[in-house]
Chain A
Amino acid sequence: MFRKILIANRGEIAVRVMRACREMDIRTVAVFSDVDRKSLHVRYADEAYLIGPAPSTESYLRIDRILDAARRSGAEAIHPGYGFLAENSDFARACEDAGIAFIGPPVSAMELMGSKTASRRAVLEAGLPVVPGADRNLESLEEVRHIAGEIGYPVMLKASAGGGGKGLRMVREESELESAYRTARSEAQNAFNDSAVYLEKYIEHPRHVEIQILGDRRGHLIHLGERECSLQRRHQKVVEECPSPAVNDDLRRRMGETAVRIGKLAGYANAGTVEFLLDPQGDFYFLEMNTRLQVEHPVTELVTGIDLVKEQVRIAAGERLAWRQEDVRMRGAAIECRIYAEDAANNFFPSPGRIARLQAPAGPGIRRDSGVYEGWQVPLEYDPLLSKLAVWATDRAEALARMRRALGEYEIQGIRTNIPFFRRVLEHPDFVAGRLDTGFIDRVLAAGLMEEEPPSEEEERVALLAALLHVERNGGAEPAGATDRNAWKHAGRRALLQRCPERAGGRS
């Protein structure tokens, strides 16, 4: 087993990996950028090394500097977390070349599954389900018409160079095809300087359901059931649960076996996730594979009792996977909410700044993976994920009640968060009933999910009373720690005192 591991990441996931290492009696090495000197992962690690300035291209994405830190510290392995270099096969190869174990899949599997088109082709050739369509550029309207007719409407036109919804057109029937084709092409040309488009069957009201797989380097590969990840905003998952309300034992077995076959054809080892679209009829289609630990891995851990990070470390160290498929048992239900520094009441605007107050939920069934602490300044250079709040309970209904309770206990002040948004989502009748699809969040937001009810008179009285108490208590001075103590603040206070000379003698 390794004695020392470097974690090439920051925030909550770096802390999560270090926690596993500490329990395994492995020493941990953090790397950090200028602005992360006071970050939790740096404070938590056994050793920490500066790798550059704030922009991630100059720090967390610098393979050379990360490997330098690994050599300096004598780390024998590197865990990449998720994001940054986690799916960069050059990084994995550079680690291996430097004689440092990369805690992730083999380079060849990463390269095959990392390409959307190559992985789709490989899955298709193996006779496994992918979303029907043409995985090549379509040069003429006739060609588009022909293929659309073959796979059946509705279809989706997509820019080959695409992303971010540009060059994306849904076509319900043939009469719409011509104009949709032209606009998709011109949008793609404007956005990506490449007018190439391809075509896929449009799956209506799809769920996003993914299967966790885990395998050792000897070809033993199992699945750990599914995660329901349909709740997404801007193509980013915000709530995940395990099990999915839409998956029964039979479907789980079929999806799981498909995921394991996909893993095997890629020669996959370590932890990975196979993403599927699940349609309302119960048919599922391969979407893509994530060749790393997922953000939402805690819900699987809570329900299966298997610590994925520890398994990743053991597999990378060459150990055999101790679990057989029949040993994997799913027990109870888990839900996770991703707590972001963004203002849910104001169009989810990012809200960096200082966490003036933090009170975390606790008690039965709560798991909180956090990368922050009270008094910390949330930097604006990185992803605004503050923490992941997960709960486990004996069934989904109890898990929902527990999550509502935990969200009610979670208090973060000084910056805005999306906690108020989750409180409402968890009370939405469709969510409670498990009626989810990838359009859920946009739909409920458009329907006024975040509209506030007017406050009670009593609450308004409390707001006024609190302000009075505050002024009496400290003459309106800021609460300690509400913002940075800057020179301008004292200058402002002096200026104010000069403006109100009668007050300079002290508070009245």
Chain B
Amino acid sequence: MKFHARLHRGSKTLEREVELVAHDTANGLRRFRIASQTAEAHCEEITPGVYSVLMDGRPYEAYISNRPGDPPGHDGPFHVVVGLRRYLVELRDPRRWRRTGSSIEAEGPQEIVAPMPGRIVKILVTEGQEVKGDQGLLVIEAMKMQNELRAPRAGRVERVYLAEGRGVEAGARLLRLV
């Protein structure tokens, strides 16, 4: 199985050709290739979605889940948690996967959606306003707390879809950032 992989963490993306090669039954090792490097590791599934990997004797645990709200795609994107870090991994099979481009948009128009159900308490920006990365966009109240939703990157607020005081469901469109 050969894939074109994208590994996202924060604003960084790593692109590699990856492949899981043979299963060596003699020593229990899995051989895999990342770009031109081939390596081996002891791999075990602990429970569905949880993998224990021994890399040259060093143990890692990886926990895999789909992004909430995503349809269960065969090639992800997956959230992969290793240690304290969370990655987003996309695997594209170059032979089958016809979709072009990445599903993760770092540039271009971006819809800001509600991460959870709640109520819009305050909108901190207006249409047409330029915002910096990490700037507060609006305040949502959920779980008895008021929380500021911040811009994932710099840009211009093209549209504000909702008014203050409105209740929203998870995934509801809030703003469009261009």
Contact = CB atoms under 8 A, between A and B. Distances in A.
B82 to A, nearest CB: 5
B10 interface: yes
A502 interface: yes
Given A468-B1, A474-B48, A420 B84 contact: yes
Contact of B75 (A348, A350, A465, A476): A476
Interface string B1-33: 101010101100010101110000000001010
Interface string B24-48: 0000001010100001010101011
A466 B71 contact: no
B109 interface: no
Contacts of B96: 500, 502-503
Contacts of B7: 460, 463-464
Contacts of B138: none
B73 A496 contact: yes
A462 B82 contact: yes
A469 B43 contact: yes
A125 B20 CA distance: 77
B62 A463 contact: yes
A462 B55 contact: yes
A153 to B, nearest CB: 32
Q: Which one of A452, A459, A475 has the highest number of Cβ atoms from chain B below 10 Å of its Cβ?
A: A459
Contact of A492 (B55, B63, B71): B71
B91 A467 contact: yes
A500 B58 CA distance: 38
Given A347-B148, A347-B150, A459-B82, A357 B63 contact: yes
Contacts of A146: none
Given A341-B143, A466-B82, A476 B63 contact: no
B49 interface: yes
Nearest to A378: B143
B34 A476 contact: no
Contact of A482 (B32, B65, B71, B80): B65
Interface stretch (A116-124, A168-176, A253-261, A380-388): A380-388
Given A469-B43, A478-B66, A489-B71, A384 B80 contact: no
Given A466-B62, A474-B48, A352 B116 contact: yes
A251 to B, nearest CB: 35
Interface majority SS (helix, strand, loop, mixed), chain A: mixed
Nearest to A348: B147
Contacts of B47: 357, 479
Contact of B143 (A383, A462, A492): A383
Contacts of B3: 468, 471
A349 interface: yes
B85 A459 contact: yes
B142 A380 contact: yes
Contacts of B143: 341, 350, 352, 380-384
A307 to B, nearest CB: 29
Given A413-B63, A465-B32, A470 B78 contact: yes
A470 B53 CA distance: 12
A414 interface: yes
A481 interface: yes
B62 A462 contact: yes
Given A469-B30, A483-B66, 12 more contacts: A347-B150, A349-B115, A349-B149, A350-B116, A350-B142, A351-B116, A384-B143, A461-B55, A462-B53, A464-B89, A472-B20, A503-B96
28 contacts: A234-B145, A341-B143, A347-B148, A347-B150, A348-B147, A357-B63, A380-B118, A380-B143, A413-B63, A452-B84, A455-B85, A460-B7, A464-B5, A464-B34, A465-B43, A465-B62, A466-B51, A468-B19, A470-B78, A471-B74, A472-B1, A476-B73, A488-B71, A489-B72, A495-B71, A500-B96, A503-B74, A508-B1
Closest 7 CB pairs of A and B: A479-B49, A492-B71, A466-B62, A476-B74, A479-B48, A350-B143, A467-B89
Interface of B: 1, 3, 5, 7, 9-10, 14, 16, 18-20, 30, 32, 34, 39, 41, 43, 45, 47-51, 53, 55, 58, 60, 62-66, 68, 71-76, 78, 80-87, 89, 91, 96, 115-118, 142-145, 147-150
